[in-house]
Amino acid sequence: MGYLDNGEWISDDDPRTNDDKGAFVRRASAFRNWVTADGSPGPSGEGGFAAEPDRYHLYVSLACPWAHRALIMRRFKRLESMIDVSVVHWLMRQDGWTFKSGPGVIPDPIQNADFLREVYVAADSNYTGKVTVPVLWDKKNGTIVSNESAEIIRMFNSAFDRVGAKAGDYYPERLRGEIDSVNDRIYDTVNNGVYKSGFATSQDAYEEAVSELFKSLDWIEDILSKQRFLVGDTLTEADIRLFTTLVRFDPVYHGHFKCNVRRVVDYPNLWNYTRDLFQRPGVSDTVNFQHIKNHYYQSHVSVNPTGIVPMGPALDYEAAHDRDRFAEAA
């Protein structure tokens, strides 16, 4: 998949992708600054990134569940007119993410880059690490603010409120403890759990990841049998973060990553919940199954050497859901 070593592109797989037991190891994101309302420093990194319309640019892949979080939060907060977006091509092989033309690709207007790695090198000419999406770019300082989706969605949630973002708090103070605790388990066993399953290179590591994944899905099914959202009656960032994995689950993770104990459609509450979120205004516009399926099945040559993309499953995300039986906070 390739990575940068001291600013130089290496087109092999990063040798640190799996540990000596065959388990997939995800590395921490490198750029950890925060956009804040007044430019003061956030919880990590440096200050100097004040929320201003037209100052920031978001690089995403429509295939990527982490980037997808940022697109949904951008839509919920109506930041589309202040933060524009570039979309990489769905195929990610030895050159990493590219801007090769194709349906749904939106070129990079800032660096005119052919490859996303150019954006990383423009921010740090000695960068070492993976070249991942999402990336939040600051046009004023000519650098990357953040490449950590969990933090980008927190910035989008509140930093732009005084410059015209839509009202709505997806990380309300009173629910933070609960949101953080749900996020922790879901990040480790579900969002990253599907990758740990699919990228395991030993039977033990695979089985461990799949067992934890389905224990968590069973646990979430139980929660969603009693309330509308992960944290009571309020749609929070925890739901956005879970949704982007759920919507990819049956089309991709079930087959490609061998997460096949059950499908999302086998869980009545999870499946109705997925459709409830999918059908909220603007969300379906952020979901591109062509990019999602093509990316996974064709990019990971070690997992799917033929590159054949399955035709199914035939699913109707627009079908009526039953989640109105639970209360939703106004």
Q: Which residues contact ligand GSH by CB under 6 A?
A: 1, 29, 61, 64-66, 96, 130-134, 147-150
146 is in an annotated binding site: no
Sign of the CA dihedral with 170 first, then 175, 180, and 186 last: negative
Least CB distance to ligand GSH at residue 320 (A):
31
Closer to ligand GSH by CB, 133 or 264: give it.
133
Residues 64, 170, 259, 297: which is the catalytic one? 64
Q: Are 63 and 296 in contact (CB under 8 A)?
A: yes
Least CB distance to ligand GSH at residue 95 (A):
10
Least CB distance to ligand GSH at residue 28 (A):
7
Least CB distance to ligand GSH at residue 26 (A):
7
133 is in an annotated binding site: yes
How is 39-106 classified by DSSP, letter by letter? S---SSS----B--TTSEEEEE-TT-HHHHHHHHHHHHTT-TTTSEEEE--S--BTTBSB----TT-B
H/E stretch holding 245: helix 237-248
What strand order describes the sheet that includes 56-60?
Answer: 84-87, 56-60, 135-138, 143-146
| Residue type at position 63 | A
66 is in an annotated binding site: no
Closer to ligand GSH by CB, 1 or 264: give it.
1
Closer to ligand GSH by CB, 138 or 221: give it.
138
Residues 171, 187, 195, 317: which is the catalytic one? 195
Active site annotation includes 195 = yes
Closer to ligand GSH by CB, 36 or 244: give it.
244
Please give the Cα distance from 163 to 51 (Å, whole number).
Answer: 7
137 is in an annotated binding site: no
Please give the Cα distance from 65 to 26 (Å, whole number).
Answer: 15
CA distances from residue 251 to 239, 257, 309 in whole angstroms, order as listed: 19, 11, 10
Closer to ligand GSH by CB, 271 or 297: give it.
297
Least CB distance to ligand GSH at residue 233 (A):
27
Query: Which residues, at least 6 apart from 222, have a Cβ–Cβ distance to it below 8 Å?
Result: none
149 is in an annotated binding site: yes
97 is in an annotated binding site: yes
Active site annotation includes 259 = no
From the annotation, which residues make up the binding site for glutathione?
97, 130-133, 148-149
Active site positions, annotated: 64, 195
From the annotation, which residues make up the binding site?
97, 130-133, 148-149
